Amino acid sequence: MATPLSASRMVSALRAEGLRPVEYRSWRTHNRNHKGAWGPVNGIVVHHTAGRNSLNLCYNGTSSLPGPLCHAHLAKDGTLSLISNGRANHAGSFAANAFNAMLNESDNHPRPDSAEPIDANARTYGIEIENLGNGRDPYPAVQYDAAVRWAAAICRAHGWSADSVIGHKEGTRRKIDPTFSMDKFRANVAARLSGQGGAAPDVSAPAPDSKPNPPKVSGHPARYQVTINGQRYGYGAYGPHVTAVGRALVSAGFGRHYKSGPGPKWTDADTKNYADYQRSLGYSGSDADGVPGATSLGKLLKRSGVRTVSVAKLVSAAKSNPPMSGTPVTYSGVRTVEAALSAAGFLASGRVDGHFGSDTVRAYAKWQRKLGYRGRDADGIPGHSSLSVLAARYGFKVSA
């Protein structure tokens, strides 16, 4: 349980996560506290609006359902408007099994049972994301990213995990929102909380990711090239410098779009991973289209370096971490290996946390089986041979 954030603390938390919230009208005193309790709070509920131009509706509500209808409204262009500080008419009643899973931060969010005895309006924060909710209306990347940052900001402020985030459809059988996968959304929130592109230290707009007038693109990732320090980058570029960028992205935790690891030819996967990295720096629009600019590339290559992972320390972590409570980091090299396993498609990005837990053991076992190992040789405990192959493919070194 937690005391609800004050209006000022909410604004500070959102800004620290790289957002620029709009304080809409009298949001600091706009609430339904006169109708019932507000707090203690136990979680976060994600909704979609099922309509367009819904900002005023979310603030005012209707005659049958008075506003505020949420705590924050998120427009298609990523504009986050603060609607309420206090109790809001956003969630209604929740099933006890669903609410308790959120309360206990369970990684299993069950289908809600039919009984709905919990007053979720009193116990949860809610966001309305502008979307028609028909399964065809897209959530633009800038909008989705802002939703992840909003949820992560509140989780970080309260010390909650991403499993404190629930979709409206997961709290009650009455609703279908949001239409995107909540498992994926929680994984994205967990990734931010674990430091993959974590909270932006500076909420002012970053300097432009300098590159020459990028063309407008639609229907596919950006497919143009730029020249930086005499090297070509972008779709179709080729050379060892492209591999170096891919490996740096994986090392930094931005390799989820690779199917078989970075290579010397720049593909759409490189573009998508680079766009994730640019957004982590606070860029948006053409500055986050996945084609490098001199500013972002310099930061990436400066921080990447070739890392060395100790087999002995990794084995110790793999054997000691699973039974540990929480996700303590016992060896920094674990994150390097997890990032490689994630890029290889064996570990969810939200599990790249530096803790060699049971999910990482299972992921490493899959990697061992891919190499042809069986039985005890594929138990998820790294060996020098299997780790060396992973290192060669994903750009790190191995020591005893």
Residue 87 CB burial class (10 angstroms; 0-12, 13-18, ≥19): buried
- Tell me the helices (H) and strands (E) count for the chain, helix number first: 14, 12
Q: SS3 of 10, please?
A: helix
Q: pLDDT tens string for the chain (400 positions)?
A: 689 999 999 999 999 888 989 999 999 999 999 999 999 999 999 999 999 889 999 999 999 999 999 999 999 988 999 999 999 999 999 999 999 999 998 888 999 998 889 999 999 999 999 999 988 888 988 899 999 999 999 999 999 999 999 999 999 999 999 999 998 899 888 888 876 443 333 333 445 666 655 665 555 788 888 887 777 899 999 877 888 888 888 877 788 888 877 888 999 999 999 998 888 777 777 788 899 988 888 878 766 555 788 999 999 999 999 988 778 888 888 988 988 888 777 888 678 788 999 999 999 999 999 988 999 899 999 999 899 888 877 767 788 8
CATH H-level, domain 7-193: superfamily = Peptidoglycan recognition protein-like (3.40.80.10)
Tokens of 15: 């800004």
Q: Which phi and psi (to 5°) does residue 136 adopt?
A: -115, -25
Residue 166 parent element (H or E): strand 165-167
Q: Are 12 and 200 in contact (CB under 8 A)?
A: no
User: What is the spatial distance between Cα 200 and Cα 186, in angstroms, rounded to a whole number?
Assistant: 19
Q: How far apart, in whole angstroms, are the C-alpha atoms of residue 111 and residue 218?
A: 37
Helix H or strand E segment including 249: helix 240-251
Angle at alpha carbon of residue 91, lines to 85 and 96, rounded to 5°: 120
So where are the chain's domains? 7-193, 225-304, 308-399
What letter would DSSP give residue 41? B
**pLDDT score recorded for residue 316:** 94
**DSSP string for 105-128:** T-S--PPP-S---EEHHHHEEEEE
Q: Give the per-residue pLDDT at 163.
A: 93
Strand ranges (DSSP E) for the chain?
A: 22-23, 43-48, 72-74, 80-82, 93-94, 118-119, 124-129, 165-167, 225-228, 231-234, 308-310, 397-399
Global pTM exceeds 0.75? no
Judge whether 265 and 238 are in contact, CB under 8 Å.
Answer: yes
d(CA 236, CA 242): 10
DSSP helix, strand, coil percent of the chain (3-state; round to 5):
40, 10, 50
Report the pLDDT value the prediction gives residue 99, as an integer from 0 to 100. 95
> What's the Rg (C-alpha) of the chain?
22
Angstrom distance (rounded) from CA 48 to CA 51: 8
Q: d(Cα 40, Cα 124) in Å, to the nearest integer?
A: 9
- Token code pair at residue 260: 């078989």
Distances (CA, A) of 141 to 52, 71, 211, 231: 18, 21, 21, 28
Pick the CATH number of 225-304 from 1.25.40, 1.10.101, 2.60.40, 1.10.10: 1.10.101
CA 253, 259, 262, 268 torsion-angle sign: negative
